[in-house]
Amino acid sequence: MEDSAPPAITTANPADRPVYVIGGGPGGLATAYTLRAQGIRAVVVEKADRVGASWSRHYDRLHLHTTRRLSALPGLKMPRRFGRWVTRDNVVRYLEKYAEVHELEIVTGVEVSRIERTPDGTGWLLHATGGRELTGAAVVVATGYNHTPFLPDWPGRSAFTGDLTHACAYRDGKPYTGRDVLVVGVGNTGAEIAVDLVESGAERVRLSVRTAPHIVRRSTAGWAAQYTAILVRRLPVGLVDRLARPMAKLSVPDLSAHGLPRPGTGLYSRVKEGAIPVQDVGLIDAIRRGRVEVVAAVESFEDGGKVVLADGTRVTPDAVVAATGYVRALEGLVGHLDVLDERGLPLAHGPRTPKNAPGLYFTGFTTPISGTLRELSIDAEHIAKAVARHLR
């Protein structure tokens, strides 16, 4: 592993150029390994000072919601000692070990800001930190689905006198002990932070919900929800929606009396829109016991530390944790290439490339029901084969 940038490669011979992989997370590392297995030189460019940096910044209690066995990247199993549900710290250790074992060529501390075709049209030119220009035979963008924190521009937000932070800055509930906290957003992050706050002794925890989520048990009688997701992932969306309804009624209690009704749209339909089900790691119990109060969506902020909710209610929490998601932030990198859709997501993914950008690949920009790390691994294998065909 290197910690300095590679020299600029300016030769016009495509055979002498490496494939650049942008991002040193699971998708980037897996793709670099599979490219190497195809005999292709792959150089990972990571803006942070270490691989897996985004994982190390997640909250302390985070565990994978997918099983250890089905979360390993190509070429290296996760150790059994990590347990079935791998912790955040062990994910980081695994990624560091992965790069070391496979002797991947990694450059840290260098950020790629723009990608464009080389003047002769035979490759890709990467503009990076310090005015560097790197020329690659192909490029794989693996900067991640959760790239840049998104904080809604609520009216009055700038005047809010309370403690407002995005979930990306949340580590544990200790700073919130004895405090009144409003968590905004009921994805997996918001749900886990709400539970963590309860367990850490917050005086009051409210969870602001705009759209009721699908909640699933992470495991039932030893059967991981991921197993079911893998089995149904290629079935018609409508069929999976219909199958999921009775399963949800059997495994998840009705929380309507607590302000969280069952969703009106199908589970798989929501997944296709980018909304992954919430894996229950204590939220159901916390809501039923009244430890987490479900409230309406946030509409605005007012002077005096008040938060206005969609139903007209005004609350005055000591702190607000916004689990409001992330954006991909690909516009500056590739927006000028006409390869993004109206949501800012790549038009092509995995081994497919945009028609107008052969040799440009994207991985890690979908939200698969069957597990992100598993699908990143599958994508990596397919991308490496596609790149090999492209270079031939």
Q: Are 317 and 161 in contact (CB under 8 A)?
A: no
- Domain assignment of residue 177, yes or no: yes
Query: Tens of pLDDT along the chain (392 residues)?
Result: 544 444 444 444 566 799 999 999 999 999 999 999 999 999 999 999 999 999 998 999 999 999 999 999 999 999 999 999 999 999 999 999 999 999 999 999 999 999 999 998 899 999 999 899 999 999 999 998 888 999 999 999 988 888 999 999 999 999 999 999 999 999 999 999 999 999 999 999 999 999 999 999 999 889 999 999 999 999 999 999 999 999 899 999 999 999 999 998 999 999 988 888 999 999 999 999 999 999 999 999 998 889 999 999 999 999 999 999 999 999 999 999 999 999 999 999 999 999 999 999 999 999 888 999 999 999 999 999 999 999 98
Which residues does 70 contact at the CB level (< 8 Å), separation at least 6?
Answer: 226, 230, 371, 373, 374
SS3 labels along 128-177 = EHHHEEEEECEEEECCCCCCEECCCCCCCHHHCCCEEEEHHHCCCCHHHC
Angstrom distance (rounded) from CA 232 to CA 122:
41
Sequence letter at residue 26: P
Question: Which CATH number belongs to the domain containing residue 254 in this structure?
Answer: 3.50.50.60
Residues 253 and 296 in one domain: yes
pLDDT of res. 392: 83
Residues 282 and 175 in one domain: yes
Written as six digits, the tokens of 241 are 């929606």
Domain termination residue (choose one: 299, 322, 345): 322
Residues 107 and 193 in one domain: no
Instruction: Write down the residue that tokens 């994805």 correspond to.
Output: 187
Supply the DSSP string of 274-320, one letter for each residue: T-PPEEESSHHHHHHTTSEEEEPPEEEEETTTEEEETTS-EE--SEE
Residues 22 and 124 in one domain: yes
Residue 65 CA: distances (Å) to CA of 86, 187, 227, 230, 339: 8, 13, 12, 14, 31
Residues 136 and 157 in one domain: no
pLDDT of res. 15: 61
Measured at the alpha carbon of residue 281, what is the angle toward residues 367 and 250, in degrees to the nearest 5?
A: 85
| DSSP-assigned beta bridge partners for residue 300 | 308
Residue 50 CA: distances (Å) to CA of 3, 26, 31, 103: 9, 12, 17, 14
- Domain assignment of residue 78, yes or no: yes
**Cα 299 to chain centroid, rounded:** 26
- On the CB side of 360, how many CA atoms lie within 13 Å of its CA? 27
Domain termination residue (choose one: 277, 299, 322): 322
Residues 155 and 221 in one domain: yes
Residues 143 and 169 in one domain: no
pLDDT of res. 67: 96
Residues 308 and 357 in one domain: no
Q: Is 1 helix (H, G, I), strand (E, B) or coil?
A: coil
- Domain assignment of residue 5, yes or no: no
- Domain assignment of residue 8, yes or no: no
Angstrom distance (rounded) from CA 88 to CA 59:
8
- Domain assignment of residue 184, yes or no: yes
Residues 374 and 338 in one domain: yes
- Domain assignment of residue 19, yes or no: yes
Angstrom distance (rounded) from CA 248 to CA 118:
52
pLDDT of res. 59: 94
pLDDT of res. 8: 46
Question: What domain range includes position 288?
Answer: 150-322
Domain termination residue (choose one: 303, 322, 341): 322
- Domain assignment of residue 3, yes or no: no
Angstrom distance (rounded) from CA 390 to CA 392:
5
Residues 182 and 87 in one domain: no
- Domain assignment of residue 72, yes or no: yes
Residues 341 and 365 in one domain: yes
Q: Please tell me the total count of domains within the chain.
A: 2
Residues 134 and 229 in one domain: no
Q: Are 78 and 72 in contact (CB under 8 A)?
A: yes
Q: Are 388 and 85 in contact (CB under 8 A)?
A: no
